[in-house]
A and B are shown apart, each in its own frame.
Chain A
Amino acid sequence: MRKCSIQALDTVFETIAEAAVLYLPVDGDNGASYKKWEKGTVMSNALNTVRSPKDFFFPQSENLMEFRTSGKTIEVIDKREEKEDFVVFGVRACDVKSFDILDRVFLNEPCDSYYADRREHGTIVSMACTRPVETCFCQTFGIDASNPAGDLSCWKTETDVYFQANTEKGEKLLAAIAGVTEESDDTAVKAQQEKTREIMKKLPLADLTTEGFGAGKTAELFNAPEWKELSQSCLGCGTCTFVCPTCQCYDIKDFKTGKGVIRFRCWDSCMYSDFTKMAHGNPRLSQLERFRQRFMHKLVYYPENNDGVYSCVGCGRCLAKCPISMNIVKVMRTIGGKADE
């Protein structure tokens, strides 16, 4: 483990930015968001960014290819370009875990080259949480907020920043900042972790479990009568899917530029009425079916296809952002049979 003083963090950023584009959470009028580092950029101390960092690998909208048409002929133009190396600094434990969940979708054969390319060029520097709040429930999914994964893990105390490499990319980055850091023991990190874990234990969602969910639960849960009441007030706005770090459904659309056609991919939401709509009908006609799909996917279907891993990391963004205060926790407590607790 290595460390530097809080004051030296700017030099660390400067050193990283010499070799790669550096992004870090920065405070703004509407909360924290990832911004490109420039000299003088101050890293946010917010618990997390409003939007998840999934944009770095799976952007909200991206051009896939272009077409030029003339008469009856079509030309396909592959516009993929080599990406530049980048570092995302300050990712929380929950969001770091979300990349594993996205990897299982996009890197699974046939590998999505757009995603894979960004993933290869990106280095994740995580940041341990010290002040988890009442919407946090990463521990439900076995995530330790005080011990985040990523290529390089970081802990920030009042005086110092500690670094621990977990991967080859992390080692490389740690070597690059060796000049501004020094060897250290992990006493201060251990003490911080202890404190954070104590807070985690006292959080209102600390007792939330995945009991009742997981692979093989479709038959039992699909027709649960509770879906009706749970979904009744859902507006179908899709906010939960957009702020969710693990929601990965996408649409592919064409845009006529006047000179040709750009085929692009953008985020889509299973909460939208036209998501499954076909020329001859729609298998999910009501919001109940769309609402159920989102939670069944995260809590049953995804684990069934992915060795029991749930497609939720407990970041709490949907809890904070849903306009009608409906969320995965309420679904888990109700359908999972914990409504009375």
Chain B
Amino acid sequence: MNNREETLIPKIGVITDVRIDTPDVKTFRVVTPDGKKAFEHKPGQCAMLSIPGVGEAMFSITSSPTNSEFMEFSIKKCGCVTEWLHEAEPGQQITIRGPYGNPFPVDDKFKGQDLLFVAGGIGLAPLRSVINYCRHYRENYGKIDIVYGSRSKDDLVDYQEILNEWMTDDNIFVHLTIDREQEGWDGHVGFVPNYVKELGFDTNKTVIICGPPIMIKFTLEGLCSLGFEKTQIYTTMELRMKCGVGKCGRCNIGSKYVCKDGPVFRCDQLEELPNEY
């Protein structure tokens, strides 16, 4: 018997709760069979989830590390593994391994900073971990702005938490937007990049951005036109992964592996890499 630790061999996780967030996003609560967290993580890190016989895929951990009881994953249905997961019911076991990747620098660079989160659609999933971490250690951070947009009101992931917790917090400013007019929506209508420009933030903030590539691209342009530097802006990447530890060779952008050198990148560092993502 080989006594070495092996990162590729996963633990068992149990789905204890499935929350329907949007027509194509569900949030899965996962613990070990004895009811504990599978492992500790930092905001922005990821985990490999799998269903034997279906496949294994990398997901950002949506819950904050400050949640001591369980982990949550907000997952959009768009491939084999995610489609299977969307059919799963509480009590279903899956496999889990991690944590993988570098977290957002919440305990150093972000400390004492005003933070601006910009998310589109399911792009809120990895940022939720950071937002709730910062809310937990609220005294460590300055003003927090959150710009979040999706196609429609029904596509806002975990709208309830946003309404009931984020929006009621002091000194947290949530700016929601949806792509098109919708009955029952009296908030902002329009795309995220334009909304960020309209809101016209002070440039003394650290920005954390995640969403569809096209949203990131135009939001970056908008932020730069407002006077933000790329050194102030962080994002998190996603590419196909198999191992999660920089060996299977497929998630690289230039010489950087998203799984181990990312997934969190500062935009000026990302800019130095080839445009192949």
**Contact-residue size bin, chain B (C-beta under 8 Å from the other chain):** 35 or more
Judged by a CB distance under 8 angstroms, whether B167 is at the interface is no
Judged by a CB distance under 8 angstroms, whether A226 is at the interface is no
Query: Are A254 and B246 in contact (CB-based, < 8 A)?
Result: no
Judged by a CB distance under 8 angstroms, whether B245 is at the interface is yes
Judged by a CB distance under 8 angstroms, whether A27 is at the interface is no
Given known pairs A80-B1, A82-B1, A268-B248, the reply for A218 and B254 (CB within 8 Å) is yes
Query: Are B52 and A261 in contact (CB-based, < 8 A)?
Result: yes
Judged by a CB distance under 8 angstroms, whether B37 is at the interface is no
Query: Are A117 and B2 in contact (CB-based, < 8 A)?
Result: yes
Judged by a CB distance under 8 angstroms, whether A295 is at the interface is no
Q: Which of the residues B79, B95, B254 comes within 8 Å of A278, measured between beta carbons?
A: B79
Judged by a CB distance under 8 angstroms, whether A252 is at the interface is yes
In the complex, the number of residue pairs spanning A and B with C-beta atoms less than 8 Å apart equals 132
Judged by a CB distance under 8 angstroms, whether B232 is at the interface is no
Number of residues of chain A lying within 8 A (CB) of chain B: 57
CB distance from A258 to the nearest CB of B (A): 11
Neighbouring B residues of A106 by C-beta, 8 Å: 247
Judged by a CB distance under 8 angstroms, whether A301 is at the interface is yes
Neighbouring A residues of B89 by C-beta, 8 Å: 72
Query: Are A280 and B2 in contact (CB-based, < 8 A)?
Result: no
Q: Which of the residues B2, B9, B273 comes within 8 Å of A81, measured between beta carbons?
A: B2
For B118-134 the 0/1 string (1 means CB < 8 A from A) is 00000000000000000
Query: Are B273 and A218 in contact (CB-based, < 8 A)?
Result: yes
* Bound-complex Cα distance A302 to B252 (A): 11
Neighbouring B residues of A249 by C-beta, 8 Å: 248-250
Neighbouring B residues of A252 by C-beta, 8 Å: 8, 56, 242-243, 248
Query: Are B9 and A65 in contact (CB-based, < 8 A)?
Result: yes
Neighbouring A residues of B93 by C-beta, 8 Å: 72-74
CB distance from B270 to the nearest CB of A (A): 13
With contacts A111-B4, A249-B248 known, what are 7 further pairs, Cβ within 8 A? A74-B95, A75-B12, A82-B1, A250-B242, A260-B52, A261-B53, A302-B255
**Pairs A–B under 8 Å by Cβ, sample size 19:** A72-B91, A72-B92, A74-B12, A74-B52, A110-B7, A113-B5, A222-B274, A249-B249, A250-B248, A250-B249, A252-B56, A254-B53, A260-B52, A268-B250, A278-B79, A279-B79, A283-B253, A297-B252, A301-B252
